[in-house]
Structure 1
Amino acid sequence: MTRRVFLSIMTAAGVSLLAAMLLILGMLQSAYTQRYRQQLRDEAAYAAAGLETGGTAFLAALPAGSGRITLIGADGTVLYDSIGTQDMENHSGRQEVQQALASGTGESSRYSATMGERTYNYALRLEDGRVLRVSAADFTLPEVLRSLAKPLLLIAVIVVLLSLFLALKLTRSIVRPINQLDPEHPDKAEIYPELSPLLDRLSSQSGQIDEQIRELRRKQQEFAAITENMQEGFLILDRDTNLLSYNTSALRLLGADDAVLGQSVLGLNSGSSFRDAVERSIAGEHYQRTMHHDGRYYQLIANPVHQEDGIIGAVLIILDVTEKDQRENQRREFTANVSHELKTPLTSISGFAEIIMSGLARPEDITHFATNIYAEAQRLITLVGDIIKLSQMDENSIPVEKEPVDLREIADFACERLSQAAAKKHITMAVHGSRETVSGVHQILEEMVLNLCDNAIKYNVEGGRVDITVSRDPRGAVFLSVADTGIGIPQSDRERVFERFYRVDKSHSKEIGGTGLGLSIVKHGAAYHGATLSLESELDKGTVITMTF
């Protein structure tokens, strides 16, 4: 800006100075020319008077600083010349000589080859018919400029320096209010009136920008709140695989400690599945694949981001599908187990019925066959009933309202109900603790305690012991624990004993009996009542299962 202002001032000053100089020089030339020529006329008259009295000797005695003096005869012959008369041509054809011979005086201005410059010539006719001419260098504009060269150069330097000084000062005076503007509060600035429209627009735009920034921050906070509360991992990449945005779930699922925005996302995970998802999505391909990492399964969903027929990046979603995969495996295993558990009694029932139907059974065996058919049918009914109970608890659709239930009463009932089964193995059963009430479904709680006690008897040793304890801690939590002195549960099986149809000792499952759903019913019943289960076991010493309400 300083340069523009300087050039503007310099141009204006230069044009003005040049115009003024030309005008002054023109006026000076006109005035000086008239005065100069008048002096030549006076010199001619003075020389003519001297010539009349003193002859040519007078002309020769004139000082050298005077103009050129020439005496010309009536026929144009040069009689005398202050420069010299040798080889001088006839001057009858000269304009000033012709005018003087005709009217008494004459003048002209022309280039003189003798003097080597442009001259002014004044001729005066004498009384005897001769012509006296005085010539001198003419006063021209180049001559004036040549004589004024140094002053003009000095003036030009002064104009340039003054223009630069004014430009700097003017620029600072213009820029200073602009530099002192507060972008956030432009309306409070002290400026010259010419900036008022600009400040009005800045103030309006500042308000709009502030509003847009607030809106962007609000949306950014909403986006961050949504993504940070997602269980799914979320990654946004540019087309160079550099990380633009992410949430903490993505780092957790990928097993990364930290991520740096602007660096390649491939540094977060070195697996081939993750690399394929990134590279294929950047290439414009929708990609979906399951990835295994640290014993868990993750589903990668990668989509390219298009803009104006070009790919500018990709979005990756990471889903933890471990539980889904486990549930699918459990579903397949459950289906296989149910099929097996149903097939076994049905095969027995079908076999006994076929023997009776074909008449091969002896009359004394029919009662035995009927007893077996009834037992297998009851086993089927129990199995179907347990499956229905599990389904109802899974769907939270048990058709009974919760009510206050006395756990000590249920414990006493279970002890009495299973006393005969315990007596067959000479197992001692005892109930300890106080009467504690919880909110729940009596039938389900009773089934849970019966299953725990039944398992404690089945997997106990001959002459062992089963203790049922009901208590409450100072914080108000109610406990019901069933402890046995049985064979215990191996460490590798403790996480799976609550699965449906899972048995620790599969070789003796037929001898022990049961549907294999007892502990699964306990687990789902506890979840239905908001209770937690804990298991402590030691091989050949026993097991303690505790429900905490």
Structure 2
Amino acid sequence: MTKRIFRSILVVSLAALLAALALVVGVLHGYFESRTEADLNQQAVTIARGTALGGIDYFEGLNISSRVTWVGQDGTVLYDNWQNASTMENHASREEIQEAMSLGKGTAVRWSDTLGQTAIYCAVRLDDGTVVRAASTQYSVWALVLQSVQPILVVVIAAMILAAMLASRLSKSIVRPINELDLNNPGGTSEDFYEELTPLLTRLRMQNHEIRQQMDQLRRRQEEFSAITENMSEGFLVLDIRTRVLSNNSAALRLLETDCVPVPGETSAFVLSREEGFRRCVEEALAGRRSERMVRRETLCRQIIASPVMQDGHLGGAVVVILDVTEREQRESLRREFTANVSHELKTPLTAISGTAEILENGMVKPEDVGHFAGNIHREAGRLIELVNDIIKLSRLDEGGADGPWEEMDLYRLSKNVLEQVRPAAEKRNLTLSLKGGPAMACGVPQILEEIVYNLCDNAVAYNRDGGSVTVTVEDTGKGARLTVEDTGVGIPAEARDRVFERFYRVDKSHSRGGTGLGLSIVKHGAAYLGATVVLRSEVGTGSTFILNFPPAEH
């Protein structure tokens, strides 16, 4: 814009300069013409006086640059200082001669064959009727210009430089208020902006207000979107048609287990994960088909769902949702395993009961052996009932409910009662039972607390060595009650310590030690229900120690 204004001002300045020069030359031309005519007229009068006094002899001593001609009454040329008078034609028909003879003076401007250019003629009549004429060349405009070409060029060049300087300063001063406009607050603080810009500035203010409102709305939406997506446990990716990531949340990077932070519009989704399932999902979605696949890595399981995005009937990209289904898959696996284990555990006693009953039904048992077989049926039925009861207990704990209100109980007294319950089984194996510590209060459902302590002590007896010991320690730590059950049994291998709390899991696969395989699972779920934590320490061949830390009892 500055250059255009500069060029416009410079052109206007030069045009004005040229026009002024033309006007000056024209004025000078008129001035020189009138001046020349006046000088010639004065010369003609002077020569006429001299001729009247001296006759033709006056011309002999006359030294003048103008052409002087003396014409008789009949138009015959009597004298001419530039030409031979005898060879010149009659001048009676000349305009200035005729005018001088009739009026006393005459003037004319015409082309002169003698001078070879336009000339000015001034004629004066003498008393004897003859006419004296003076003539001089008329300078044309171009002649004047050519005679003054050097000063004119100097003036033009100086004027051009001055015009360029002034045009530059003026163009900058014109543009400066526009360049200094504050587009965020147009016309708000400036005092020298052009009034002609008022409509533009008003429109800019309105547009700025609309833009600020739109930006505030977009910012609020972006913040809401970010707040929602960043607090999602599910990951999502928005991809363009070339697999480049346009948007994502942090959960997507966490679930894809990548440290790469994608640059929007530049990073390919395949940089984030090179898993075959992920790649196939993205490729199928960008081909226009919805895709869903499972991606497994070690113990983790991810569900990838990719859907195409259509824009005006054309494929514009894809949206990829990443779900962490590890826990769901583990639960499903545990459910299948639990179903299989329950079926197996129920089948064993039922098979024994069915087989024994069939033998009795067919009369294949001697009367004196009936009691033995009936005892087998009774034991297997009891085992079956115990298994069902344990399953019911676990189901109630899973559902977050248990029979009975919460009460404050003394773990020391409870442990003492439980040890008395397992004492008969311990005496059969020569095990030493001991209780240490003192009173410590814990809050919970009495039935659940008793089940926890009983299962720990029962396992300590069942998996102990003959002649070993079981030690129960109860103490109040100041931050809650602590129950420790320690045995001198076979211990638990390191690879099995994380699984002993699973349902029906047994370190001893032979089932030779009895039990339902649900005892430690009841301990784990019961402790979780009461807000307690379970810690296991064990060494193979040395024994195991189970530590329960209860939260402080509320008085």
TM-score, normalising length: structure 1: 0.82
**Counterpart in 1 of 2:426?**
422
User: Secondary structure at 2:109's aligned position in 1?
Assistant: strand
CA drift at 1:430: 2.0
2:488 is equivalent to residue 485 of structure 1: yes
CA drift at 1:396: 0.8
Deviations 1:133-185 (A, max 9, x none): 54332244334444444444444444444444444544565666677777777
Deviations 1:214-243 (A, max 9, x none): 666665555555544444445555665555
CA drift at 1:489: 1.1
Residues in 1 aligned to 2:422 and 2:448: alpha-carbon distance in whole angstroms:
17
Residues in 2 aligned to 1:467 and 1:493: alpha-carbon distance in whole angstroms:
23
**Counterpart in 2 of 1:527?**
528
CA drift at 1:443: 1.0
2:456 is equivalent to residue 452 of structure 1: yes
Cα contact 2:442–2:480 (8 A) shared by 1: no
Residues in 1 aligned to 2:194 and 2:102: alpha-carbon distance in whole angstroms:
73
CA drift at 1:465: 1.5
Residues in 2 aligned to 1:165 and 1:345: alpha-carbon distance in whole angstroms:
114
Deviations 1:79-114 (A, max 9, x none): 655443598777677655666677776554344454
User: Secondary structure at 2:470's aligned position in 1?
Assistant: strand
Residues in 1 aligned to 2:528 and 2:372: alpha-carbon distance in whole angstroms:
42
Deviates more, 1:248-257 or 1:376-385: 248-257
User: Secondary structure at 1:135's aligned position in 2?
Assistant: strand
Deviations 1:267-307 (A, max 9, x none): 44444444445555566654433223354222334455666
User: Secondary structure at 2:83's aligned position in 1?
Assistant: coil
Deviates more, 1:405-414 or 1:240-249: 240-249
Residues in 1 aligned to 2:271 and 2:348: alpha-carbon distance in whole angstroms:
55
Residues in 2 aligned to 1:293 and 1:95: alpha-carbon distance in whole angstroms:
124
1:42 is matched by which residue type in structure 2? Answer: Q
User: Secondary structure at 1:398's aligned position in 2?
Assistant: coil
CA drift at 1:24: 4.6
Residues in 2 aligned to 1:403 and 1:438: alpha-carbon distance in whole angstroms:
8
1:480 is matched by which residue type in structure 2? Answer: L
Q: 1:426 to 1:45 in 2, by over 3 A?
A: same
CA drift at 1:116: 3.7
Residues in 1 aligned to 2:88 and 2:418: alpha-carbon distance in whole angstroms:
163
Residues in 1 aligned to 2:63 and 2:16: alpha-carbon distance in whole angstroms:
44
2:36 is matched by which residue type in structure 1? Answer: Y
Residues in 2 aligned to 1:294 and 1:62: alpha-carbon distance in whole angstroms:
133
Cα contact 2:2–2:175 (8 A) shared by 1: no
**Counterpart in 1 of 2:263?**
261
CA drift at 1:539: 1.0
CA drift at 1:375: 3.5
Cα contact 2:404–2:446 (8 A) shared by 1: no
2:324 is equivalent to residue 320 of structure 1: yes
**Counterpart in 2 of 1:377?**
381
Residues in 1 aligned to 2:306 and 2:299: alpha-carbon distance in whole angstroms:
22
Cα contact 2:69–2:77 (8 A) shared by 1: yes
Deviates more, 1:239-248 or 1:437-446: 239-248
2:534 is matched by which residue type in structure 1? Answer: L
1:6 is matched by which residue type in structure 2? Answer: F
Residues in 1 aligned to 2:385 and 2:88: alpha-carbon distance in whole angstroms:
160
Deviations 1:416-455 (A, max 9, x none): 1122222222222222222222121111221122222222
Residues in 1 aligned to 2:370 and 2:410: alpha-carbon distance in whole angstroms:
46
2:119 is equivalent to residue 119 of structure 1: yes
**Counterpart in 2 of 1:406?**
410
2:484 is equivalent to residue 472 of structure 1: no
Q: 1:111 to 1:407 in 2, by over 3 A?
A: farther
Q: 1:118 to 1:364 in 2, by over 3 A?
A: farther
Cα contact 2:405–2:445 (8 A) shared by 1: yes
1:429 is matched by which residue type in structure 2? Answer: L
Q: 1:405 to 1:91 in 2, by over 3 A?
A: farther
2:548 is matched by which residue type in structure 1? Answer: M
Deviations 1:462-519 (A, max 9, x none): 2221122222224x1322122111111111111111111111121x21x322222111
Cα contact 2:290–2:308 (8 A) shared by 1: yes
Q: 1:358 to 1:96 in 2, by over 3 A?
A: farther
**Counterpart in 2 of 1:65?**
65
Residues in 2 aligned to 1:282 and 1:72: alpha-carbon distance in whole angstroms:
114
1:532 is matched by which residue type in structure 2? Answer: T
**Counterpart in 1 of 2:83?**
84
2:446 is equivalent to residue 436 of structure 1: no
User: Secondary structure at 2:329's aligned position in 1?
Assistant: helix
Cα contact 2:439–2:476 (8 A) shared by 1: no
Cα contact 2:460–2:487 (8 A) shared by 1: yes
User: Percent same amino acid among aligned pairs?
Assistant: 46
**Counterpart in 2 of 1:135?**
135
Q: Give the 5 Å matches for 1:132-211.
A: 133-170=133-170, 189=189, 191-192=191-192, 194=194, 197=198
Q: 1:95 to 1:187 in 2, by over 3 A?
A: closer
1:261 is matched by which residue type in structure 2? Answer: V
User: Secondary structure at 1:191's aligned position in 2?
Assistant: coil
- Computed over aligned residues only, the root mean square deviation of the Cα atoms, in angstroms, reads 4.1
User: Secondary structure at 2:294's aligned position in 1?
Assistant: strand
Residues in 2 aligned to 1:467 and 1:227: alpha-carbon distance in whole angstroms:
53
* Unaligned stretches of 5+ residues in structure 2: 551-555
Cα contact 2:106–2:122 (8 A) shared by 1: yes
Residues in 2 aligned to 1:430 and 1:281: alpha-carbon distance in whole angstroms:
67
Residues in 2 aligned to 1:236 and 1:221: alpha-carbon distance in whole angstroms:
17
Cα contact 1:6–1:163 (8 A) shared by 2: no
**Counterpart in 2 of 1:494?**
497
User: Secondary structure at 1:480's aligned position in 2?
Assistant: strand
Cα contact 2:503–2:517 (8 A) shared by 1: yes
* Unaligned stretches of 5+ residues in structure 1: none
User: Secondary structure at 1:479's aligned position in 2?
Assistant: strand
2:267 is matched by which residue type in structure 1? Answer: S
Q: How many residues align?
A: 545
Cα contact 1:390–1:521 (8 A) shared by 2: yes
Q: 1:434 to 1:116 in 2, by over 3 A?
A: farther
User: Secondary structure at 2:292's aligned position in 1?
Assistant: strand
User: Secondary structure at 1:488's aligned position in 2?
Assistant: coil
TM-score, normalising length: structure 2: 0.81
Q: 1:54 to 1:503 in 2, by over 3 A?
A: same
Cα contact 2:77–2:88 (8 A) shared by 1: yes
Deviations 1:37-68 (A, max 9, x none): 233233344445555565666556543521x3
Residues in 1 aligned to 2:310 and 2:130: alpha-carbon distance in whole angstroms:
109
Residues in 2 aligned to 1:235 and 1:113: alpha-carbon distance in whole angstroms:
102
Residues in 2 aligned to 1:528 and 1:90: alpha-carbon distance in whole angstroms:
150
